[in-house]
Amino acid sequence: SLSGKTAVITGSNSGIGLGIARALAEQGASVVLNSFTDRDEDHALAAEISRDHGVEVRYIAADMADGQACRDLIRQSGACDILVNNAGIQVVSPIDEFPVDAWNRVIAINMNSAFHTTAAALPLMRKAGWGRVVNVASAHGLRASPFKSAYVTAKHGVVGMTKVVALETAREAITANAICPGYVLTPLVEAQIPDTAREYGISEDEAIEKVILLKQPSKEFVTVEQIAGIALFLCSDAAAQVTGTTISADGGWTSQ
Ligand code: NAD
Condensed to tens digits (0 to 9), the pLDDT of residues 175-200 reads 999 999 999 989 878 888 899 899 99
Instruction: Pick from 101, 106, 135, 188 the residue to mutate for probing ligand 1's pocket: most ligand atoms within 8 Å of its CB.
Output: 188
Q: Would you state the pLDDT for residue 230? A: 99
C-alpha 109 to ligand 1 mean position (Å): 9
- For residue 66, the 8-state DSSP code is S
pLDDT of residue 189: 85
Q: E-assigned strands of the chain?
A: 6-9, 30-33, 57-59, 82-85, 131-136, 174-181, 246-249
Residue 73 confidence class, pLDDT cut points 50, 70, 90: very high
Of 143, 186, 190, which is best to mutate to test ligand 1, by the most ligand atoms within 8 angstroms of its C-beta?
Answer: 186
Per-residue pLDDT tens digits for 82-92: 999 999 999 99
pLDDT of residue 191: 86
**Measured distance CA(42)–CA(58) in Å, rounded:** 10
Mean pLDDT of 228-247: 98
The per-residue pLDDT for range 111-141, each reduced to its tens digit, is 999 999 999 999 999 999 999 999 999 999 9
User: CA-to-CA distance for 248 and 231, rounded, in angstroms?
Assistant: 12
Q: Is the alpha carbon torsion for 13, 15, 21, 25 positive or negative?
A: positive
Distance CA 255, CA 201 (A): 29
pLDDT of residue 85: 99
Q: Which residue, 187, 175, 183, is CA-closest to 148?
A: 183
The 10s digit of each residue's pLDDT in 25-51 is: 999 999 999 999 999 999 999 999 999
- Band (52; pLDDT cuts 50, 70, 90): very high
pLDDT band at 209 (very low <50, low <70, confident <90, very high): confident
**Ligand 1 geometric centre to CA of 76 (Å):** 22
What whole-number percentage of the chain has pLDDT above 90? Answer: 93
Task: State whether ipTM is beyond 0.85.
Answer: yes
Q: Which residues contact 110 (CB under 8 A, 6 or more apart)?
A: 87, 88, 89, 150, 151, 154, 155, 158
> Stretch 229-247: mean pLDDT, rounded?
99
* The predicted structure's pLDDT at residue 110: 98
Residue 137 to residue 227: CA distance in whole angstroms? 11
Residue 200 annotated to the active site: no
| CA 171 – ligand 1 centroid, Å | 31
Which residue's CA lies nearest to atom 8 of ligand 1?
11
Residue ranges around ligand 1 (CB below 6 Å): 11-17, 34-36, 63-65, 86-89, 109-110, 136, 138, 181, 183-184, 186-189
Cα-to-centroid distance, 188 and ligand 1 (Å): 6
Residue 240 has pLDDT above 90, yes or no: yes
